């Protein structure tokens, strides 16, 4: 099955981040009540900085925007410095005019995880669905915390992180010691993500090149979760030259 994914290649990580911000801003400007799906991690940091700049200098308003975040570590509360809620505060929410009550990050301390996951799914539907979901990609092809083996019909749920993901998140960027990284997370499922009207996957750096190649040119397979975007009607991969470096090679 040939994939339907649009590929945009930029020379630098910065240009790729700005392109992703441009795609997000276009949705924010074109809808009266835009609904964004957001990612955390190192990759989108520059994109959020660019959105904050557009807010300051180009009057890009988030006042009517609703946001849903992909995932959150289980066991970390919203005030924990390494929680994804705090990441979003630091990198985006504190710098734009989004209304706090319109931002939804899964609660890592929820007393009932199934109830929390069901509420998250219901709230996306009630908001009218996600207009654009921004994704990163793991070196193993994961999207959100859907590790290899996650099914195409998976929904928001509790998952166990793989040792590679724990290692990737404890290389000093977020946690300094693997022992500090929570072993489980709440994550939107593959089906939750695939229901977005559009998807932008941002990948930068050499470490992502093989996962990007597999996602675009490998089989549509649960072994590489991002390959499960191949048949999405409006999915764009925005890549820098390093992340794109294995495309076109067998
Ligand atoms: C984060 C997320 C993850 C990351 C991925 C890449 O919300 O869902 O899938 O997008 O692990 O992380 P970075 O950007 O740190 O390389």
Could you tell me the mean pLDDT of each successive run of 10 residues in the chain, 250 residues long? 92 98 98 98 98 98 98 96 97 98 98 98 98 98 98 98 90 83 96 98 98 98 98 98 88
Closest CA to 238 of 211, 210, 199: 199
Given the residues 142, 146, 169, 232, the one annotated as active site? 142
Given the residues 19, 107, 147, 222, the one annotated as active site? 147
Mutational pocket test of ligand 1: of 41, 154, 204, 205, the residue with most ligand atoms within 8 Å of the beta carbon: 41
HSE, side-chain direction, 13 A CA sphere, residue 3: 22
Give the closest residue (by CA) to ligand 1 atom 3. Answer: 144
What is the rounded distance in angstroms from the CA atom of residue 78 to the CA atom of residue 85? Answer: 5
What is the rounded distance in angstroms from the CA atom of residue 12 to the CA atom of residue 18? Answer: 10
Ligand 1, CB cutoff 6 Å, lining residues: 39-43, 70-71, 136-138, 142-145
Whether this prediction's pTM lies above 0.95 is answered by yes
Determine which helix (DSSP H) or strand (DSSP E) holds 71, and give its type and residue range: strand 71-73
What 3-state class would DSSP assign to 74? coil
Give the closest residue (by CA) to ligand 1 atom 12. Answer: 41
Q: Which domains does the chain have, with CATH numbers?
A: 6-196+206-249 (3.40.50.1360)
Closest CA to 201 of 150, 134, 138, 143: 134
């Amino acid at each position: 099955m040939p994939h339907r994914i649009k590929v945009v290649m930029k020379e630098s990580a910065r240009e790729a981040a700005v392109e992703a911000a441009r795609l997000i801003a276009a949705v924010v400007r074109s809808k009266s009540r835009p609904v964004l799906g957001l990612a955390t991690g190192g990759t989108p940091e520059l994109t959020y900085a660019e959105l904050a700049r557009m807010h300051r200098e180009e009057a890009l308003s988030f006042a009517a925007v609703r946001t849903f975040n992909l995932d959150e570590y289980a066991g970390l509360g919203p005030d924990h410095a390494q929680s994804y809620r705090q990441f979003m505060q630091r990198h985006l929410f504190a710098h734009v005019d989004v209304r706090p009550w319109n931002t939804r990050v899964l609660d890592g301390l929820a007393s009932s995880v199934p109830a929390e996951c069901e509420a998250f799914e219901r709230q996306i539907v009630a908001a009218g669905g996600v207009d654009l979901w921004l994704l990163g990609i793991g070196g193993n092809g994961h999207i959100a915390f859907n590790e290899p083996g996650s099914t195409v019909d998976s929904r928001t749920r509790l998952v166990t992180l793989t040792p590679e993901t724990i290692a990737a998140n404890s290389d000093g960027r977020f946690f300094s010691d693997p022992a500090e990284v929570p072993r489980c997370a709440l994550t939107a499922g593959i089906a939750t993500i695939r229901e977005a009207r559009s998807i932008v996957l941002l990948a930068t750096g050499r470490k992502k090149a093989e996962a990007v190649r597999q996602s675009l040119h490998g089989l549509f397979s649960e072994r590489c979760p991002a390959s499960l975007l191949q048949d999405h009607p409006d999915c764009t991969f925005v890549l820098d030259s390093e992340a794109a470096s294995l495309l076109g090679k067998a």
